[in-house]
Chains A and B, each alone.
Chain A
Amino acid sequence: MTTSGERVVTEGAEGDRFGREKLRHLQLERLQMTLNRAYFHVDFYRSRLDALGVVPEDVKTDEDFRGLPFTTSEDLADHYPYGLFAVPLKNVVRLKIATSRDGRPIVVGFTKRDTNLWQSLVVRLFQRLGIHDRDIVQVAFNYSLFPGAFTFNQAAEALGATLAPSATVSAKLQLQIMRDFRSTVLAATPSFALHLMDTLDEESARGREFHDLSLKLMVLGPDPIPEALRDRIRSRLGIPAFGLYGVAEMVEPGLAGECPAFRGFHVAEDHFLAEVVHPVTGHPMGPGSEGELVITTLSAEAYPLIRYRTGDVVAVDAAPCPCGLNTMRLSPVRRRTDHRLSVRGIPVSPQRVERLLRETDPAIEDFRLMVGTRFGLGDSLEVWISLGTLIEESKSSRLERIRSRLRRELGLGVRVVDVSPERLPQEGLTYKTVFREKKEP
């Protein structure tokens, strides 16, 4: 038996370096338990399987498993508040709010065991990157916008020292703290890392050099890291930036993370079963092919998810990695099936914006989300609107009403511009959205 302190650091670490055969066996053990628990404790899954005339023990092969229906973001919203919980609320120690693709609330529950596991997954990712008890991890997230960020703090604390000035603290003060406390690791969003790099460049222009920083690496998420930003961090600071991946409806971060070999994001396959399917047909895609990531939780206690469609389009590589791990690797997320985008780390759904616009001002004719990007990262959002039929209310009052509603609902400052319908640009691959890379400052 271990002490609880030891357990926090080591639990969940066991499957990381298993051979494929042993890992597959462990996955089968845990999948059977998950199906059993979901069937007996979650009415949603029970009625689904009953409708198919299937009981958990009928799932004998991979093919049987792939015959089970997908769980979607809409299912989670439909069964809000706790229709998908597998344990009584008194056993839930953490509730996390996410949003469905159509903007409805989803609440994910975690038992003590779930939160311990989540933390241990992040600890494992940290350890893999060489973060240890002598490191000072500066965690700089906006916690209200990225609730999973707390796990960075907890994981860093479990390993050693943590500094947690929120991202709402200015980049200048972040740098001062970084210097004064000799932070060795920065955990932040890619957008914030970019902002920090800009601030360093400004300081440099005023004659202050970077040499007094002690950073040895950055851990960035939840958005993918643009290669140009990674290169900039490497060339200016001489340090690597690693990405972490997660799914808001499960654990984010912690589901997968980059290894020192930079060969993709290793999935924690001992706790999650990953599939890649065609986003339209749902058919399995072969290794290397692009498709939607579908995840089944293998260890989640409070909120088990079976064949959950994440909406993230990735490619998978199952070949052994030079870093020594045998776990499957994901490419960075290439796009979203639901067109969700991210502006300064805040997720924005064009469909949700459309619904908010229609609710706020039904007379609106058409609109575009104009996303200003830097290094490919969403940096600013303008909503161009063709206001349509003239109504009694003044144009400026209509625009102000829309702007304040969007700001309130999205948690993001938005500029709202009235344009004539012919000035609305052609939308790209993302629904009603146009991306424009900003010029370097």
Chain B
Amino acid sequence: MKPEINQAKMATTQPTPTTELLIQADGTILTHNLTSAMADMLSAINPADQSMKQRSRALQRKDRP
């Protein structure tokens, strides 16, 4: 039998956007599922990180039209 899908639940209980961080002893931060908000924050913490800056900018198009 095909399982029943609670469409209202699907629409409302999806997990909120989440990023996981692993902060290493040397200060290096590894990320997984990097979201816009976290990219913005990490870029602000370390403006010299060009890769993070690019990722932050990628989302700025989305979040700040």
| A-B interaction | no
Residues of A at under 8 Å CB distance from B?
Answer: none
Residues of B at under 8 Å CB distance from A?
Answer: none
